[in-house]
């Protein structure tokens, strides 16, 4: 195994503040040369900020919707479950797009990278439209299928219709940012999410509570604000993607459908779609296991997961740097440098998440209390937050390993890991702990911690075998 000891000790010439300013402002960099800690830092900072902004979408909805009661929060949580299909396709296409664009950039072929970007956008639009139509016309039926109580369906079906109806904006927001990340232009991706959230943070309270000239739309207002914010972010992305000085410039000729290249993107993305569907189907299974325990259990679980995502998504931002570094360095014929970048980022990520875990373990009630005053929801949410946080040190490595495989274009290995650890282990374990052993919601929370830790261990073992270095994309 190649270790990161010598590389981690490398001290960049620039000061921390100079590097931070450079990371946020953005600059032309060759990530196949020079200091790896510096490369990880320059890529990670904007990616962390980008993922932090993505988490804000969900947090804002729960924060404001929480004022409308447990049924409203439960409706948001169930709708998130329904979004798994669009998230699966979006993330799967994003994984393949980042890997392909990064590999082409490493090979010094920006036109091939632009062709890949154009075909990925076309595929993304085509796959998001059916989900949008389902959401617009069958939102009530979908909520009922998820097992939501009648009161939750009645209150939340318009929220579901708006969120699912805006699936194309979700798809493009993920996908175009994946293009920027693969090119190493993480700053543009960050700015698009900042802009989208600026719109969202203004519209959400105005449309929910009817502030100023805006109508009072309740939970529906949260969905409209979020969808409009995402759409504004996509418009900014398109403008940036077509500018002359961007690293991957998509022109009209790149948007002419190329079946062979589009199918190549889809084939690579199938593993990414599969790994996310497996993981999130497991999440849906956990929701179904929790449903008999009532709306308070669902609401507490939803709030706790949103708080956890505040930490996990920025951490995914850090690990997204791995996908770019692995892809570009494999393209440049430097597999050892690609491997060193993985171990370095894993150490950084573990240190960060351990600190986050300490906060969540010590002050879970205070954090959950920001979103609800219901004593039962507060107790269950705090319990979930504390129990899940015990596995953060393991999660850090699991996340890095997943992105290392995906950056190499090996999306199948994480898929098999997810299949074994989630469907064949987590769901049965949650059923046994919650129902057979009578632990209730606590058993579900404990199953999450155990299963995610197993994912990390298996991921490290598979990564050390080194087969990902031979992956051609």
The 10s digit of each residue's pLDDT in 306-354 is 788 777 777 877 888 898 899 889 888 888 899 999 999 999 999 999 9
Question: In the prediction, which pLDDT does 57 show?
Answer: 61
The three-state secondary structure class of 213 is coil
Question: In the prediction, which pLDDT does 60 show?
Answer: 67
Answer whether residue 70 is part of any domain: yes
CA pair distance 387, 18, nearest whole angstrom: 39
| Letter string b/e over residues 280-297, b meaning 16 or more CB atoms within 10 A of that residue's CB | bbbbbbbbebbbebbbbb
Q: Which residues contact 394 (CB under 8 A, 6 or more apart)?
A: 452, 453, 455, 456, 457
Q: Tell me the residue range of the domain where 63 lies.
A: 35-470
- Summarize pLDDT for 154-213 with one digit per residue, the tens: 888 888 899 899 899 999 998 999 999 888 888 888 889 889 888 988 898 899 898 888
Answer whether residue 247 is part of any domain: yes
328 neighbors 102 (Cβ within 8 angstroms):
yes
Answer whether residue 29 is part of any domain: no
Beta strands in 148-288 (DSSP E): none
Angle between the N-to-C axes of helices 36-65 and 219-241, in degrees from 0 to 180, rounded to the nearest 10: 150
The three-state secondary structure class of 436 is helix
Question: In the prediction, which pLDDT does 447 show?
Answer: 92
Give 10-residue mean pLDDT values along the chain (473 residues). Answer: 42 66 72 83 81 66 76 80 79 89 90 93 91 87 81 84 90 92 86 88 89 87 90 93 83 91 91 81 82 83 81 78 89 89 92 91 88 84 90 90 89 89 90 89 90 92 87 71
Answer whether residue 220 is part of any domain: yes
Question: In the prediction, which pLDDT does 276 show?
Answer: 77
Answer whether residue 189 is part of any domain: yes
Answer whether residue 193 is part of any domain: yes
**In which region does residue 3 sit, left (phi positive, over 0), alpha (psi from -120 to 50) or beta (all else)?**
beta
Residue reference for tokens 């040369």: 33
Domain count, the chain: 1
Question: In the prediction, which pLDDT does 370 show?
Answer: 84
335 neighbors 364 (Cβ within 8 angstroms):
no
Question: In the prediction, which pLDDT does 59 show?
Answer: 66
361 neighbors 390 (Cβ within 8 angstroms):
yes
- Does this model's pTM top 0.85? My answer is no
Question: In the prediction, which pLDDT does 6 show?
Answer: 41
């Amino acid at each position: 195994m190649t270790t990161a000891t010598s590389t981690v000790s490398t001290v960049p010439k620039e000061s921390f503040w100079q590097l931070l300013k450079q990371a946020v402002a953005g600059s032309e960099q060759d990530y196949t040369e020079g200091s790896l800690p510096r490369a990880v830092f320059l890529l990670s900072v904007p990616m962390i900020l980008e993922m932090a902004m993505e988490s804000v979408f969900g947090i804002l909805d729960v924060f404001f919707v929480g004022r409308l009661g447990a049924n409203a929060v439960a409706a948001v949580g169930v709708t998130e479950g329904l979004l798994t299909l669009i998230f699966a396709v979006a993330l799967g296409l994003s994984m393949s797009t980042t890997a392909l664009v990064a590999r082409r950039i490493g090979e010094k072929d920006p036109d091939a990278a632009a062709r890949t970007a154009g075909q990925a956008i076309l595929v993304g639009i085509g796959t998001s439209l059916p989900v949008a139509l389902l959401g617009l016309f069958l939102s009530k039926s979908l909520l009922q299928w998820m097992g939501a109580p009648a009161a939750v369906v009645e209150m939340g079906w318009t929220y579901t219709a708006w969120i699912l109806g805006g699936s194309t904006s979700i798809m493009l927001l993920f996908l175009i940012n994946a293009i920027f990340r693969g090119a190493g232009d993480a700053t543009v991706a960050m700015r698009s999410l900042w802009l989208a959230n600026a719109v969202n943070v203004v519209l959400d309270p105005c449309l929910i509570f009817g502030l100023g000239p805006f109508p009072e739309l309740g939970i529906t207002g949260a969905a409209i604000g979020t969808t409009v914010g995402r759409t504004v972010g996509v418009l900014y992305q398109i403008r940036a993607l077509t500018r002359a000085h961007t690293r991957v410039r998509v022109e009209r000729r790149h948007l002419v459908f190329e079946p062979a290249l589009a199918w190549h993107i889809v084939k690579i993305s199938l593993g990414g779609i599969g790994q996310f569907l497996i993981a999130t189907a497991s999440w849906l299974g956990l929701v179904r296991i929790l449903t008999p325990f009532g709306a308070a259990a669902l609401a507490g679980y939803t709030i706790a997961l949103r708080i956890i995502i505040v930490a996990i998504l920025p951490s995914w931002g850090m690990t997204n740097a791995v996908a770019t570094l692995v892809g570009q360095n494999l393209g440049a014929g430097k597999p050892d440098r690609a491997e060193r970048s993985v171990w370095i980022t894993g150490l950084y990520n573990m240190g960060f998440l351990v600190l986050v875990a300490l906060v969540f373990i010590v002050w879970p009630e205070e954090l959950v209390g920001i979103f609800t005053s219901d004593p039962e929801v507060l107790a269950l949410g705090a319990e979930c937050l504390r129990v899940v946080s015990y596995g953060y040190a393991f999660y850090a490595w699991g996340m890095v390993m997943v992105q290392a495989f995906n950056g190499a274009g090996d999306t199948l290995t994480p898929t098999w890991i997810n299949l074994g650890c989630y469907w064949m282990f987590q769901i049965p374990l949650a059923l046994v702990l919650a129902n057979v052993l009578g632990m209730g919601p606590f058993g579900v929370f404990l199953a999450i911690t155990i299963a995610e830790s197993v994912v990390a261990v298996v991921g490290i073992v598979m990564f050390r075998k080194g087969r990902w270095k031979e992956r051609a994309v």
